[in-house]
Amino acid sequence: MAMDRVEGTDRACEAECAGTSSAGLSGLVCNIQRFSVHDGPGIRTTVFLKGCTLRCFWCHNPESIGRGLELQLHPDRCIGCDECSRVCPTGAQEVTADGERVYHRELCIACGACVEVCYAGARELTGREMTVDAVVHEILQDSPFYENSGGGVTLSGGEPVYQPEFSLEVLQRCRDAGIHTAIETAGNVPWEKLALLMPVTDLVMMDLKHMDPEKHQWAVGASNRLILANARRLVETGKPIIFRTPVVPTVNDTPEEIGAIAAFVAELQAMRRAGNGADPAPLSLELLPFHRMAGDKYNSMGLDYRAKDLVPPTKETMAALVEVGQAYGIQVRSR
């Protein structure tokens, strides 16, 4: 039921991504994380946008998947004031005759009325409509840190290409202010939308989750055909690219699977060298170990956390997989 809710929300988002964005000068932001050091070089501000075309069952940011506002519930914080049931316009927040507190997610319209009166923080909305001006204002506050560390701004998600015009305007404004710009993309988007961002993007970080189309479909709910095609097109732009692979047990944690991804990156590197001369912009592969820290997020959103029983890869496993990738003559690193 809960996953159907998210997928239903996403179908509207896919239509928006395929056509002309109506976001204009505002967009739906999931979170803005300052002083980030894992989303590109230096100290960065990472802007997480809502909406994604994939359904990775281990996703570390499930709150960013759906396109619309959603309510996260934290029962352990509830102090029993019952203000939420008093103000809820649809009866989604109920206190039964025997005093039990019940949340009917299917009735919730994410209006935020319960959040405003929940002083304990047991309820919170994920997502907020923000103007380009408001987002850029937050980004610019840390300009000295970008200058001193070689950092900048990264648009992530979700999928920043879901809101292409909004992302374009934010990146352009940052570029005009002399700030290094980067995007994190799953690549499962129409090429023309991704290409729209390239003139104002200094660095692309793109996921490569699996080379086998059937296993890719099983793991994330979509084929890898468009992703691989976009990877080749990105290489032709000459932009620096960091390909990223989340190493997930049962999905892609074998030497053979990582080797296939590394071989593809090596192919792209050879293609770039052939087309851009002796000193092209770098390509590299980053292996990201799966972790289970997102479990509470799934619970708060009423989603089934299918990865809850997976065991994160050890440091030794990650080191061995890095060596597998490096054997293909490419730059490979792991966190």
Amino acid in the structure at residue 76: D
What residues are paired with 313 via a beta bridge? none
CA distance linking residue 127 with residue 212, whole number of Å: 34
**What interhelical angle do 164-176 and 132-140 show, nearest 10?**
40
CA distance linking residue 100 with residue 302, whole number of Å: 18
Instruction: Per residue of the chain (335 residues), give pLDDT as tens.
Output: 334 333 333 343 444 444 433 334 899 999 999 999 999 999 999 999 999 999 999 999 999 999 899 999 999 999 999 999 999 999 999 998 888 889 999 999 999 999 999 999 999 999 999 999 999 999 999 999 999 999 999 999 999 999 999 999 999 999 999 999 999 999 999 999 999 999 999 999 999 999 999 999 999 999 999 999 999 999 999 999 999 999 999 999 999 999 999 999 999 999 998 876 666 788 999 999 999 999 999 999 999 999 999 999 999 999 999 999 999 999 999 98
CA distance linking residue 94 with residue 66, whole number of Å: 25
Whole-prediction pTM: 0.88
Q: Which domains are present in the chain?
A: 2-68+127-334 (3.20.20.70), 72-123 (3.30.70.20)
